[in-house]
């Protein structure tokens, strides 16, 4: 903004950041948000709108010429936006995995936004860079990650937006390492490995990185291993690939798969991978957060043999979106694959080699001050509370599991390890299970999703939305059981 | 959270989102931020800390066990974080390109965060998806983009985090299209084109996508074309590549280069590219926003022949980070390259094909409700004000340009088109110019950066930080001139 004559005299001076307005309106927004949270339970968790609903209501095809007052915007949000929201923070949200929040996370986000710093290199935001390194080391220590994954070792941590980016960055590092190592290695020869339970983001990242789709191995799992990837099958596949003249490159192992929370045996898989010089990445997006509790840390056993690990505090550590932690054993391999050095970013601290330039640890150049949020969550809550938060969610999932197991019409399909319960109506096909899920979701009072594991359609009940209490879990179960009873009764009647 | 017996009796119930606390503390944060903005001018824009400063002050090597009160955290931020901040929002920030903000953007960010919705597909957040489509069409209309770039045409728009992601996604779409078209095309044969002024994120995205570094063409520019890419040189390079058995794939043209705001001739370049079936992407990250003013729209002429366009409202349209708009002419090519369809995300609206699932338009799966921020900026300010904001910034840059031109010791190196002035001390080498820049930045009162164009070291003065007024520009010029005088005097003395 400015105050030059180029502003035509007829237009009043435009000040996009008038501090009186800022203060007044931001206070109003705080109250609007607190009121929203207070009312969220009474809103349908899954909206009842049809595709295209908003274009019909938000009529203008072009943006408005004149300003709209904030009050009118809040009222449009209430009238038009809210009815089309899937309320992820509703205590009745049991779909996918929860995206958890906290006052500390919200405050951290406010402060981080307010700085609007773009910490692509150290100089562009020393505090943002250094706090990120510190907080990543903090979390590494809390998770008892190997020393090499920290900045005092050969590695270090960086905040990414999503697991996809974490996988993409490490995959490119692995790819560059492999191609540099031998002139006979071409990108077409590189093979990557996951299981049929690995998240869909893995093959997508591979495709983006130019790995041939025919070289993405999806190794089958079964109920025998509780849907974990078998080191023996991995070994056989790698042997076959090498025999075919291919080059094993990258393994994505998972701690807490999306479908059913299966846990791949990291140590055994890494032992196999090591024989083939393969980069081992551990995707612990959801369940990794639980490993801040000593009783869950076992699920990360073997990570000391891996090359990288990612987990997303926006899933289970109360940070709000987006916050995905990536640690690497060897930061140089990441940096040498992703570094850029244009003239307009050159500066003495970077040239000295004594600083971290996070642009060389990620896909993009620009980056927000995400570390502040994670730092504030750790600091304002403290580790003891965060552990009790994990345990409380797991406790609620155990409660739901008991309710399911206590009803002989239902069965729990895979062992429950964290906050996810996979269950189904016993002895009936996909159709009826699917209808139960649809009827339950149609109530608007509960939102669950489904998956297919081992060829079976199952319902997923993921506990952990920040506002969920015991009574919501119990009420959800009553609705599920009620809908199942109705549908089973209908089936009986039609026989 | 919950209230189960698994919480040990000794630990008080942990409620991470207590609404009374939320309200009280968020109000405190609003005041803290407004006070920060009010005081920002008095803070050194570039910090005076040494690498590692924060690790020395934030002593604990592990995260705290117990909670820290919010007040203490605010005081730690003031004591430890602030001294290490590069204050991007300072009115004295003239480095890189500004990252602009507004009350509307801040409120939009608060509301967007508060929903914490993860709109990977329509059902997961209908309002978020639909508002994004609407607002992208709005901006397309404001920029007079061709009809095909909108949802009522064959294309549409999506919000990415950064230009890097926009380039990567379209590059992968182009790559897949090329490889599918002919079985003789391998990734090793694909060639991509930019100029020596194209942003460093372009070769980086190419590398990530598996394009061979030896196939990334960096076509030289010169002062003769004002550092714009020449269609004639592009044509010659493509001819040579085809003659060598290679396959031209993708051109990244720029409207407003980072170094000097050069504008590539889109129409002429696209005409050449079309003969070779090349995907043309227009990177208008910074200058694209100016094209909402009719008098600047000429710089986008030719975009109707391009395949995609990206621009970042977080640079010049007051949205806060991160907000990068990407439009494509043909949404199907993007989707077919990036779509995934795992069982756990299957749902009826997606299967009906009647909805937009933005996960298939980007690298990652998860995504924030970014559209709310952009919508609120357009709506709360209105187009007229946004245009006057652009014009006011350009007016301030014109003022600075006049000041430079009025001093015979200095010269403006390239024509000023938008808010960036590239200038240098005339008739002296890099050394003295570099020292002027360093001395100016050392004052803490002004922060500028440099670049090299046409082999010459130049200072970049980028006007547009939201709080910058005429007096800051004038004061900055006084400091620059003063430091130059001092150094020139010193030179004279030492002769």
**What whole-number distance in Å separates Cα of residue B377 and Cα of residue B108?**
8
DSSP code of residue A93: B
Residues A232-289 pLDDT 10s: 999 999 999 999 999 999 999 999 999 999 999 999 999 999 999 999 999 999 999 9
Q: Considering only alpha carbons, which residue of chain B is nearest residue A29?
A: B107
Which of A82, A103, A91, A101 is CA-nearest to residue B23?
A: A103
Residues of A in contact with B4 (CB under 8 A): 392, 395-396, 399, 470
pLDDT greater than 70 at residue A228? yes
Task: Name B282's bridge partners.
Answer: B253, B309
> Using 50, 70 and 90 to split pLDDT, how confident is the model at B9?
very low
**According to the model, what pLDDT value does residue B495 have?**
65
Residues B74-119 pLDDT 10s: 999 999 999 999 999 999 999 999 999 999 999 999 999 999 999 9
Residue A269: its H or E element:
helix A266-275
Q: Which of B72, B113, B325 to mutate to test the interface with A (most CBs of A within 10 A)?
A: B113
**Hunting for tokens 């980056």 — which residue is that?**
A367
Q: Does B293 lie at the interface with A, CB-CB under 8 angstroms?
A: no
How open is the CA angle B264-B265-B270, to the nearest 5 degrees? Answer: 110
> Using 50, 70 and 90 to split pLDDT, how confident is the model at A62?
confident
Return the biggest CA–CA distance within chain A: 83
Which of B123, B97, B313, B300 is CA-nearest to residue B199?
A: B97
**What whole-number distance in Å separates Cα of residue B383 and Cα of residue A304?**
55
**According to the model, what pLDDT value does residue B11 have?**
47
**Hunting for tokens 């920002």 — which residue is that?**
B40
**What whole-number distance in Å separates Cα of residue B25 and Cα of residue A111?**
12
**According to the model, what pLDDT value does residue B62 have?**
86
For the packed helices A103-115 and B103-115, what is the interaxial angle rounded to 10 degrees? 150
Q: What is the mean pLDDT of residues B308-334?
A: 97
pLDDT greater than 50 at residue A6? no
Cβ contact, residue pair B6, A175, below 8 Å: no
A163 by DSSP, 3-state: which?
A: helix
DSSP code of residue B152: T
Residues of B in contact with A68 (CB under 8 A): 379-380, 382
Nearest neighbour of B54 by CB, restricted to A37, A110, A130: A130
**According to the model, what pLDDT value does residue A494 have?**
74
- Contact B385/B414 with Cβ under 8 angstroms? no
Residues B452-464 pLDDT 10s: 999 999 999 999 9
Other CB atoms within 10 Å distance of the CB of residue B144:
14
Which of B293, B289, B327 is CA-nearest to residue B307?
A: B327
- Which two three-digit tokens encode residue A256? 């807490």
pLDDT greater than 60 at residue B188? yes
Residues B136-178 pLDDT 10s: 999 999 999 999 999 999 999 999 999 999 999 999 999 999 9
Locate the DSSP E strands across A364-429.
410-412, 420-425
Q: What is the mean pLDDT of residues B404-415?
A: 96
As a whole number of Å, the end-to-end CA separation of chain B is 74
**According to the model, what pLDDT value does residue A16 have?**
96
> Using 50, 70 and 90 to split pLDDT, how confident is the model at A180?
very high
**According to the model, what pLDDT value does residue A12 have?**
56
**What whole-number distance in Å separates Cα of residue B54 and Cα of residue A294?**
29
DSSP code of residue B77: I
**What whole-number distance in Å separates Cα of residue A167 and Cα of residue A478?**
40
Residues B116-134 pLDDT 10s: 999 999 999 999 999 999 9
pLDDT greater than 70 at residue A4? no
Which residues numbered 359-418 in A keep a CB inside 8 Å of some CB on B? 363-368, 372, 376, 378-385, 388-389, 391-396, 398-399
Residue B168: its H or E element:
helix B163-181
pLDDT greater than 70 at residue B2? no
**What whole-number distance in Å separates Cα of residue B179 and Cα of residue B249?**
10
Residues of B in contact with A29 (CB under 8 A): 107, 110-111
Give me the sheet containing A279-283, strands edge to edge: A156-160, A324-328, A308-311, A279-283, A247-254, A190-195, A216-219
**According to the model, what pLDDT value does residue B115 have?**
98
**According to the model, what pLDDT value does residue A492 have?**
78
Q: What is the mean pLDDT of residues B48-68?
A: 89
Cβ contact, residue pair B47, A175, below 8 Å: no
Cβ contact, residue pair B84, A126, below 8 Å: yes
From residue A148, give the alpha-carbon distance in Å to each of A69, A308, B464.
53, 10, 43
Cβ contact, residue pair B26, A25, below 8 Å: no
What global pTM score does this model have? 0.96
Mean of per-residue pLDDT scores for chain A? 95
Q: What is the mean pLDDT of residues B303-310?
A: 98
pLDDT greater than 60 at residue A2? no
Task: Name B247's bridge partners.
Answer: B190
Cβ contact, residue pair B83, A208, below 8 Å: no
Mean of per-residue pLDDT scores for chain B? 95
């Amino acid at each position: 903004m400015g105050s030059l004559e180029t502003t035509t005299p007829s237009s009043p001076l435009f000040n996009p950041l008038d501090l009186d307005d800022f203060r007044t309106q931001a206070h109003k927004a705080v109250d609007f948000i607190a009121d929203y949270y207070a009312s969220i339970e009474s809103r349908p968790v899954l909206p009842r709108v049809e595709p295209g609903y908003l274009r019909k209501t938000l009529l203008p095809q072009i943006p408005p010429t004149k300003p709209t007052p904030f009050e009118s915007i809040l009222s449009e949000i209430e009238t038009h936006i809210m009815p089309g929201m899937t309320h992820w923070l509703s205590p009745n949200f049991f779909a996918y995995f929860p995206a958890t929040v906290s006052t500390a996370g919200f405050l951290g986000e406010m402060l981080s936004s307010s700085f609007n710093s773009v910490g692509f290199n150290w100089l562009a935001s020393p505090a943002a860079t250094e706090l990120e390194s510190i907080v990543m080391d903090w979390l590494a220590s809390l998770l008892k990650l190997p020393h090499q994954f920290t900045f005092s070792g050969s590695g270090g941590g960086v905040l990414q937006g999503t697991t996809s980016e974490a996988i993409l960055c490490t995959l490119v590092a692995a790819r560059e390492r492999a191609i540099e190592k031998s002139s006979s290695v071409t990108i077409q020869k590189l093979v990557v490995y996951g299981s049929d339970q690995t998240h869909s983001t893995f093959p997508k990242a591979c495709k983006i990185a130019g790995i041939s789709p025919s070289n993405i191995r999806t190794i089958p799992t079964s109920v025998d291993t509780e849907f974990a990837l078998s080191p023996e099958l991995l070994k056989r596949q790698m042997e076959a690939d090498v025999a075919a003249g291919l080059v094993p490159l990258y393994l994505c192992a998972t701690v807490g798969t999306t479908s059913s929370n299966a846990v791949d045996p990291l140590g055994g898989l890494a032992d196999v991978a090591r024989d083939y010089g393969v980069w081992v990445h551990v995707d612990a997006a959801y369940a990794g957060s639980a490993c801040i509790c000593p009783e869950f840390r076992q699920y990360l056993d073997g990570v000391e043999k891996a090359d990288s690990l990612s987990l997303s505090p926006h899933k289970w550590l109360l940070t709000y979106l987006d916050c995905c932690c990536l640690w690497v054993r060897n930061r140089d391999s990441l940096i040498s694959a992703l570094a850029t050095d244009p003239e307009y970013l050159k500066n003495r601290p970077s040239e000295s080699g004594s600083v971290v330039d996070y642009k060389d640890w990620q896909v993009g150049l620009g980056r927000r001050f995400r570390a502040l949020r994670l730092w504030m969550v750790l600091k304002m809550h403290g580790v003891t509370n965060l552990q009790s938060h994990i345990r409380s969610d797991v406790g609620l999932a155990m409660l739901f599991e008991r309710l399911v197991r206590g009803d002989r019409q239902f069965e729990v399909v895979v062992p429950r390890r964290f906050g996810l319960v996979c269950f189904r109506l016993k002895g009936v096909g996909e159709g009826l299970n699917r209808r139960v899920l649809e009827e339950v979701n149609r109530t608007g009072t509960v939102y669950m999703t489904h998956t297919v594991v081992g060829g079976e359609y199952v319902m997923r009940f993921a506990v952990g939305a920040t506002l969920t209490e015991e009574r919501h879990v119990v009420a959800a179960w009553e609705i599920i059981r009620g809908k199942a009873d109705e549908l089973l009764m209908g089936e009986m009647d039609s026989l």
